Amino acid sequence: MSIPRLLAVARKEMIHIRRDARSLMIVVVMPVVLMLLFGYGVSLDLKGLPIDVYDQEGSQQSLDLVKRFQASEYFHVVRAVSSYSDLGRALDEGSTKMGLVIPWDFSERLRQGGPVEVQALVDGTDDNTANVLIGYAQAVVQGYSSQVQLDWLREHGQAMEPAPVSVETRTWYNEDLESSAFIVPGVLALVMSVIGAFLTSLTIAREWERGSMEQLISTPVSAMEIMLGKLAPYFVIGLFDVAVCAAIAIGWFRVPFRGSYLTLTTSSALFMIVVLSLGFFVSVLAKSQFAASQIALLITFLPAFLLSGFLFAIEQMPAALQWITRIIPARYYVAVLKKIFLKGTPTGMLAADLVPLAVFAVALAGVATHSFHKRLD
């Protein structure tokens, strides 16, 4: 292998990148756009959910309950309605997510010490939001109920007995339960999938379309030198984008970074080899820039988005899909990212993720190497 020839191929590829405005846009702008888009646009924190209230009684006690909902950061009381039909209309229109109905004898039942039922009509078109709404509403009502019970016991000169069993929670790794801390680290996998597979899928296909492959084949440059020379610029660009994304995650979104920068670099390099090899392999087979780019996105970006645990927990997927995720390299890289950023897991304890990533890197690099030959087909 000749280093000067390899560097010459790499220089030629850098010239292509500089001249291609689309490639420059993806390299420079895409990582920042994805980080900002997912950091701000995708949030699993459900707060300020709109609700309507149908207070049939209008007493001080019922107003106290409504104020509990108003004081919660999870609810936003939009309006007070005067009938079930108004409540149903608001739910149909989608202007509210839940309707709270307080019965006409609410305060009287409280004075009698009997059970009181408050109705919650929930929009179930989004099951996740509906489940969260129900849980939040039950928590608010339970808090109000405990306060009413405590006031009643005090009026009658009795002490409230503590519950025999209670739960005291302490959150580790993501103390404020911010969804950005869960989402933003995984964006690095999406960025590298785009930078690596999408751009490298155009390398060989571009040569075939422009008719310059014949010139490359006629030179003394070996197939290995062509492959490494074409992939080297994207490898450097990918690691640079990782550094940019990590800086945005830590400096802008305040995502905690408790792990090792060396481990982050090593795992990113392994994953970069994986996506570069996939992109190069697709480019060799497709021989068309359009077809190669579409196939590259299909086999890298989409699995990284849907099946890597980036947004959707793998443990909650059907058993068949859980097995399929084992052949998705992004699954292991996303797991490493979240452990490095949030947990600060030592490198020695990441073998379950780093070893499969290394195996994928070696295997796919070998496939990419044997797929390209200096000959006209």
pLDDT of residue 180: 83
Q: Are residues 329 and 190 in the same domain?
A: yes
The DSSP call for residue 41 is I
The CB-side HSE value for 193 (13 A sphere, CA atoms) comes to 27
Residue 304 lies in a domain: yes
Q: Are residues 250 and 209 in the same domain?
A: yes
Using alpha carbons only, give the angle 281, 286, 289 rounded to the nearest 5 degrees. 105
171 Cβ partners below 8 Å, 6+ apart?
177
pLDDT of residue 47: 85
Give just the sign of the alpha carbon dihedral 362, 368, 374, 375.
positive
The CB-side HSE value for 158 (13 A sphere, CA atoms) comes to 9
Cα gap 274→299, rounded to integer Å = 12
Cα gap 228→11, rounded to integer Å = 12
Residue 361 lies in a domain: yes
Average pLDDT, the chain: 85
The CB-side HSE value for 295 (13 A sphere, CA atoms) comes to 19
Cα gap 277→364, rounded to integer Å = 6
Alpha carbon of residue 27 to chain centroid: 21
Q: Rounded to a whole number, what is the largest CA-CA distance in the chain?
A: 99
Pair 315, 204: CB distance under 8 Å: no
- Which residues on neighbouring strands pair with residue 55, listed in sequence order? 102
Residue 267 lies in a domain: yes
pLDDT of residue 279: 85
Q: Are residues 211 and 323 in the same domain?
A: yes
pLDDT (tens digit per residue) in 326-365: 999 999 999 999 999 999 999 989 999 999 999 999 999 8
Q: Are residues 229 and 317 in the same domain?
A: yes
Q: What three-state secondary structure class fits 76?
A: strand
Q: Are residues 89 and 134 in the same domain?
A: yes
- Which residues on neighbouring strands pair with residue 99, listed in sequence order? 52, 121
Q: Are residues 232 and 339 in the same domain?
A: yes
- In this structure, what token pair is assigned to residue 7? 């560097």
- In this structure, what token pair is assigned to residue 10? 């790499």
Cα gap 214→191, rounded to integer Å = 33
Pair 191, 34: CB distance under 8 Å: yes
Residue 169 lies in a domain: no
pLDDT (tens digit per residue) in 40-79: 877 777 888 999 999 998 888 889 999 999 998 889 999 9
pLDDT of residue 211: 64
Domain-ending residue, one of 155, 186, 207: 155
pLDDT (tens digit per residue) in 161-188: 665 666 777 888 888 778 888 888 988 8
> Which residue range is the domain that position 115 belongs to?
49-155
pLDDT of residue 143: 87
Q: Are residues 57 and 34 in the same domain?
A: no
Closest CA to 242 of 215, 264, 225, 262: 264
What is the count of structural domains for the chain? 2
Q: Are residues 69 and 149 in the same domain?
A: yes
Q: Are residues 215 and 349 in the same domain?
A: yes
CATH number at residue 102: 3.40.1710.10
Q: Are residues 244 and 288 in the same domain?
A: yes
Most confident residue range from 135-144, 264-273, 275-284: 264-273
